[in-house]
Amino acid sequence: MKILEYINWDPIHKFSLWKGYSVHIYSLMFIISFLLGWYIMKFIYQKDNVNKKYLDPLLGYIFFGTLIGARLGQILFYDFSYFFDHWIEALFPIKENRNHFLLGFIKGYEFIGYRGLSSHGATIGIIISTIFYSKKVLKKQSFIWLCDRLCIAVSIASVFIRIGNFFNSEIVGKPCNTKWPWAVKFVQMDSEYGELVPRHPTQIYEAISYLLIFLILCFFYKKRINEGFLSGIFFILLWSTRFFLEFMKEPQGIEFINLLYLNTGQCLSIPFIIFGILLLNLSRIKKYFFS
CB 183 within 8 A of CB 200: yes
Please indicate, yes or no, whether the overall pTM of this predicted structure exceeds 0.75: yes
What is the per-residue pLDDT across 149-178, written as a single tens digit (0 to 9) for each?
999 999 999 999 999 888 888 888 888 876
Closest CA to 180 of 198, 202, 165, 166: 198
**Ramachandran angles phi, psi of 4, nearest 5°:** -65, 125
Domain parsing of the chain, residue ranges: 7-79+116-288
What is the per-residue pLDDT across 102-142, written as a single tens digit (0 to 9) for each?
454 455 655 555 556 778 888 888 999 999 998 888 877 88
Closest CA to 150 of 275, 241, 269, 48: 48
